[in-house]
Structure 1
Amino acid sequence: MNYTKRHSTLTKFRTELGTQQQLDLFESLPNKPYCMDEKPGYMLIRTKSIAVKKPYIQINSPLTTIYFVFDDDKEDAALSWFDAGLPKPFWTTQNPVNGHSHHCYKLEIPLCTSDFSSIKAIKYAQAVYYAYALKMGADRNYSHLITKNPLHPQWRTTFWTERAYSLDYLADFVDLPKRIPKKLEVVGLGRNVTMFEKGRHWAYKAIRDYM
């Protein structure tokens, strides 16, 4: 699909972000999300009212995954999901300068990713996520911690659907791998975020001692 046709399709599907969708996203955010002004840069912990004004924000809590987010650094990447024959994402946030995008799918049932959650459920979710990243050509090492804030004017945000999907429905569109690379089992879906949360308290003290 050439650029003109892709842009035409993007324009056709594009809708304004509704007030209700803004409220739903705001309600589901962690109480004090990580956020950033720019990348590379420093991650900050701020209240929701401040964090939603930042270009980059944490949308999943450390122990629960509500959104699958895919980091797609191809040029004009907003329709990668369409080209791959995947269902509509909840939203796409695109950098208007280079076309790089984040695609977000909302889960019908939030996935618990704590140490007490079902390992079987986490491995299933990891397999679905990995298969989508492969098919879409997205970054398989993306951490899930920080994403382009769909409420920020810096990005070209398109809300494609209001629908949340079950993992089984998402799995129908891909061939699930029997195994995923070992090093990717701790990337995304909360586990690396959990380690970050547990380690940051020590890190903050250690860096003060060092300085």
Structure 2
Amino acid sequence: MLDRLDINLPPKPYCTNCFSDGLIIRRKKDAIDYKYIQINSPFQLNYLILDLDYDAALSEILYSKIGIPLPNIVIENTENGRAHILFELAVPVHTGNTSRLKPISFAKDILKKLKLIYSADFNYVGLIAKNPHSSEWRTTQLRKTPYLLNELNDLVDKMDIEYPDVKFKYNNGIVNDHKENIGRNCYIFEIARNWAYSEIRKYRNTADSLWRDTVLNYCDELNNKLSNPLSRSEIRCIAKSISLFCLKNDQKYYAAFIARQKNRGELGGKKSRRSANQSSERSLKPWETEGISRATYYRRKHIAE
């Protein structure tokens, strides 16, 4: 499982040894030495991650919460037993700009149910977790087989728990409801990235620093509207990821757009250059012979038919 986790890690994950120092980006081979690391890519969900912010979490799982779906990996603090737990997905959920929203919503639905079952921290957004390779933590593997989403959903639905409404509403790819329940990080990322994809058009001939500051300010505005805002370092990480992606890809997507428009124009031109039919009403213009307007001619023809 840990070998699969190493393969699934982002190529340049966020990592840190101390959150007060902020998050940094390192190549995977270097990030693996840090105490905390980004498990999921921003564009692919391989793990559902929960933060069990209570002591002796592993003992609670094994002896008190009997019958619950077991996580694949438990990464616990050796001093107090508080842990991050990972549910590995057999089929990753893609979360990019062109990804289908239904599986994303389904995965978030399951994640919320798991948080209720495990009494996990609802404010935890899953960006950074304890690194299972770090000697700072004790890592335990409880289940070898990854979960299918449907399988995991069936297991959590069998639990005797009354779930509140967990529907997620989207409007053109933008989350517009339950922003606290889907995770503050995910909420800000989803809103800001969809805004940025079109907003960057206004900054194509400006300094990159102006664009980066604009994205950061927008993320700050979203964060300030939350009842429990994210830290400044987390907002900077989200804004940096979005602004760099847009700077890197905008010209490519803009060129593809121009090529599509040119192709459509050429196709339209080919269709419009067809030769005239000399026997058609458009060529013969019978309304001129009758001394009436073209509109009157066709109106009378329509009534007669």
Scaled to the shorter chain, the TM-score interval is: 0.7 to 0.9
| CA positional deviation for 1:201 | 5.9
User: Which residue of 225, 239, 242 corresponds with 1:199?
Assistant: 239
User: Aligned residues: percent identity?
Assistant: 32
* Worse overlay, 167-176 or 93-102: 167-176
Match of 2:201 in 1: none
Match of 2:149 in 1: 167
Asked if structure 2 preserves the Cα contact closer than 8 Å seen for 1:106 and 1:164, the reply is yes
Asked if structure 1 preserves the Cα contact closer than 8 Å seen for 2:122 and 2:181, the reply is no
* Worse overlay, 38-47 or 162-171: 38-47
Which protein has the larger Cα radius of gyration, Structure 1 or Structure 2?
Answer: 2
Aligned-partner Cα distance in 2 for 1:188–1:170: 23
For residue 199 of structure 1, what is the amino acid of its counterpart?
A: A
Match status 1:27 vs 2:2: no
Given the superposition, is the C-alpha separation of residues 62 and 199 from structure 1 closer, same or farther in structure 2, using an over 3 Å criterion? same
For residue 166 of structure 2, what is the amino acid of its counterpart?
A: R
User: Which residue of 70, 74, 94 corresponds with 2:54?
Assistant: 74
User: Which residue of 3, 22, 26 corresponds with 1:42?
Assistant: 22
Match status 1:178 vs 2:165: yes
The TM-score, its normalising length taken from structure 2, stands at: 0.55
User: Which residue of 87, 90, 94 corresponds with 1:112?
Assistant: 94
- Partner deviation per Cα, 1:141-192 (whole Å, 9 max, x = no partner): 2111100000111001101122100111111222464326712354179555
Instruction: Give the aligned CA root-mean-square deviation in angstroms.
Output: 2.5
Aligned-partner Cα distance in 2 for 1:200–1:88: 35
Whose RCO is larger (CA < 8 A, sep 6+)?
1
The TM-score, its normalising length taken from structure 1, stands at: 0.77
- Partner deviation per Cα, 1:115-134 (whole Å, 9 max, x = no partner): 32222211111111000001
**SS of residue in 1 equivalent to 2:19:** coil
Given the superposition, is the C-alpha separation of residues 148 and 202 from structure 1 closer, same or farther in structure 2, using an over 3 Å criterion? closer
Asked if structure 1 preserves the Cα contact closer than 8 Å seen for 2:112 and 2:166, the reply is no
Match of 1:17 in 2: none
Aligned-partner Cα distance in 2 for 1:203–1:113: 17
Match of 1:187 in 2: 183
For residue 50 of structure 1, what is the amino acid of its counterpart?
A: D
Aligned-partner Cα distance in 2 for 1:97–1:47: 29
- Show structure 2 runs of 5+ residues with no match: 158-162, 168-176, 193-234, 245-305
- Partner deviation per Cα, 1:39-68 (whole Å, 9 max, x = no partner): 343101001111000000001101110011
Match of 2:38 in 1: 58
Given the superposition, is the C-alpha separation of residues 41 and 189 from structure 1 closer, same or farther in structure 2, using an over 3 Å criterion? closer
- Show structure 1 runs of 5+ residues with no match: 1-20, 205-211
- Partner deviation per Cα, 1:67-99 (whole Å, 9 max, x = no partner): 111001111112444433322211100001122
Given the superposition, is the C-alpha separation of residues 193 and 28 from structure 1 closer, same or farther in structure 2, using an over 3 Å criterion? farther
Structure with more of its chain in helix, by fraction: 2
* Worse overlay, 172-181 or 122-131: 172-181
Match of 2:232 in 1: none
Given the superposition, is the C-alpha separation of residues 202 and 166 from structure 1 closer, same or farther in structure 2, using an over 3 Å criterion? closer
Given the superposition, is the C-alpha separation of residues 155 and 116 from structure 1 closer, same or farther in structure 2, using an over 3 Å criterion? same
User: Which residue of 124, 130, 146 corresponds with 2:128?
Assistant: 146
- Partner deviation per Cα, 1:9-59 (whole Å, 9 max, x = no partner): xxxxxxxxxxxx443222111110100112343101001111000000001
Aligned residues: 184
For residue 200 of structure 1, what is the amino acid of its counterpart?
A: K
